[in-house]
A and B are shown apart, each in its own frame.
Chain A
Amino acid sequence: GAGVSQTPSNKVTEKGKYVELRCDPISGHTALYWYRQSLGQGPEFLIYFQGTGAADDSGLPNDRFFAVRPEGSVSTLKIQRTERGDSAVYLCASSLRPGTGEGEQYFGPGTRLTVT
């Protein structure tokens, strides 16, 4: 079946602009996660949704970052007033039943964001 998909695969934007990154999880997966991976580093957690609600947003670096999942499926990560330090690969993952034997997180290919 289809895996996690993310669009766009690449996004180049100018400093100060607003961007939206989209994630389509695996059908039926209730949990959705956003991570950010800088060059040469491991992914860093941003936010986790269970259904439509953000169950853990402790990783969002500041109030320029916001994410939504209005219908419990597709999610959008929104970054306002982008800064060059926001340049990274943004990864999305989904899981069927977190905290259980079916809690494996399946990752998408990522969106590479470059802020010039």
Chain B
Amino acid sequence: GDSVTQMEGPVTLSEEAFLTINCTYTATGYPSLFWYVQYPGEGLQLLLKATKADDKGSNKGFEATYRKETTSFHLEKGSVQVSDSAVYFCALSGAGRRALTFGSGTRLQVQP
């Protein structure tokens, strides 16, 4: 079945540091790929998405590129802020399915 693997946290960075959170997936066909974020005390929110190979999703300074050849969708940000501290989830929806399959989440802590 479909699965998502993402790097374990917590990831602790200083403000303005470069962020990478790795995500790889296993799926048949061509899934859609997502990054969701959960800020402290809040619900899950869609951060960005990509629906086909080589697409780049971007939002709030975050980017991720759908790499079919490496089955990856790594999340990057050039300069993190304290307000980016949250749990980040990589997810996919398999071809023909509407349900999301999530990774286990990566907690990011940004220190001033």
The answer on a CB contact under 8 Å between A48 and B98 is: yes
**Least CB distance, B96 to chain A, in whole angstroms:** 9
Q: Which residues of A contact B102 (CB under 8 A)?
A: 42-44
**Least CB distance, A57 to chain B, in whole angstroms:** 10
**Least CB distance, A60 to chain B, in whole angstroms:** 12
B27 interface hit (Cβ, 8 Å)? no
Stretch at the interface among A17-25, A65-73, A74-82, A104-112: A104-112
The answer on a CB contact under 8 Å between B100 and A45 is: yes
Q: Beyond A59-B99, A98-B98: 4 further Cβ-contacts under 8 Å?
A: A31-B98, A42-B89, A48-B98, A104-B49
* Residues of B72-112 whose CB lies within 8 A of A: 89, 91, 97-105
> Could you name 23 residue pairs across A and B whose Cβ atoms are closer than 8 Å?
A4-B43, A31-B98, A40-B104, A40-B105, A42-B102, A42-B105, A43-B44, A45-B101, A50-B98, A55-B98, A56-B97, A56-B98, A91-B43, A93-B44, A95-B98, A99-B98, A103-B98, A104-B46, A105-B100, A107-B43, A108-B43, A109-B43, A110-B43
Q: Which residues of B contact A31 (CB under 8 A)?
A: 98
Nearest CB in chain B to that of A34: its residue: B99
A62 interface hit (Cβ, 8 Å)? no
Residues of B with Cβ closer than 8 Å to A?
4, 36, 42-46, 49, 89, 91, 97-105
The answer on a CB contact under 8 Å between A45 and B99 is: yes
Known: A41-B104, A42-B89, A42-B105. A91 touches B99 (CB 8 A): no
Q: Which residues of A contact B49 (CB under 8 A)?
A: 104
Residue among B36, B44, B49, B103 with the highest chain A CB neighbour number at 10 A: B44
Q: Which residues of B contact A3 (CB under 8 A)?
A: 43
Q: Which residues of B contact A42 (CB under 8 A)?
A: 4, 89, 91, 102-105
